[in-house]
Amino acid sequence: MSLQLRPILGRAARASGCLLNSGRPLATSIHGVSPSQRFPPLGYPPRASPVASNSTIQKPLPRDDLKKTQRFREFDLDGKVIVVTGGGRGLGLAMAEALVEAGGQVHCIDRANDPDPDFLEAQKRANPEFGGSLHYHRMDVRDREAVESTMQEIARKKNRLDGLIAAAGINRVGDAMECTEKDIDDLMTINYHGVFFTATAAAKQMRETKSDGSIMLVASISGLVANKGMTSAIYNSSKASVIQLTRNLAMEWGKDKTGCGNVRVNCLCPGHISTPMVEKVLQETPESENIWEEANMLGRLARPEEFRGVALFLLSPASSYMTGAALVMDGGHTAW
């Protein structure tokens, strides 16, 4: 008896309206070649048979015979427009800087009227030779109308929106039996409603501008485990909600019927990070620091800049086949 194998054939190239292959001119880089030469777009083989219409095989990346000075084109964000909520300082700002260095046009959103001194210092560090830029917008993620209009304003400038990091969030430590209705509303309206509003507003603009986008929601290991030393039932459950929201949005937005505006959605579950928000928690419960360090395989808290790489990974084509995932980065805290 013979067994006949049928080859898996590729899907048709994407429609010319997609931003990925829009043919827009790109600026020449400091290395004397355009980003499209340094980082060729990832192509798709042509349609060969109706039988294979549901299968896609990505072509292998071309060899770099010219020995160019910049490598890893999968991480290039040249010309891409990205929004970071909670980007005024702390973790959000650290991740935003990484995207700028990769060539992204990054718009940080926070509710402070004026940028934090940390943000102003980051703007000074933004090297124009990288091709990226860093901008500040005052906005409250709880205001859905403001969120919608701000996303639209940002997307219209370049007729595209390629990415979102939803990092805005607050915490409040306390016994569950002592929590008031206001405590619940305050945390949930920012940690869940705000994330929901920003994600949906960003996805609408990605669809309208036919941008294949990537969204990263910032959750926490507190949404995965009962976090010892973190007595905050509201915060922990709000982060669990974000993790489940990630899966559902990934399911809804992964494949657009037009073939353009496909949106990937993942979430990051960090461990304990030395940020202004965490420092405030430690002021209220100083014993938590020793508990967290002892429960951590690396024996310490994380630094915000240690999340630069994972932000770039999730917002770039390097993670093109990743969606609906909760990426845990916690120094081994949840691996015991």
Which amino acids are annotated catalytic?
Answer: 235, 239
Check if the beta carbon of residue 55 is closer than 8 Å to that of residue 9. yes
Cβ-proximal residues to 101 (8 Å cutoff; 6+ apart), any chain: 127, 130, 132
Check if the beta carbon of residue 282 is closer than 8 Å to that of residue 72. no
Classify each residue of 150-188 as buried b or exposed e, where b means 16 or more C-beta atoms within 10 Å of its C-beta. Answer: bbeebbeebebbbbbbbbbbebebbeeeeeeeebeeebb
Classify each residue of 34-58 as buried b or exposed e, where b means 16 or more C-beta atoms within 10 Å of its C-beta. Answer: ebbebbeeeebeeeeeeebeeeeee
Residue in this structure with the two tokens 């920012």, named with its chain if needed: 190
Instruction: Give the span between the Cα atoms of 160 and 211, in whole angstroms.
Output: 6
What is the chain's alpha carbon radius of gyration, rounded to the nearest angstrom?
21
CA-to-CA dists, residue 195 to 86, 191, 282, angstroms: 11, 6, 25
Instruction: Give the span between the Cα atoms of 86 and 275, in whole angstroms.
Output: 12
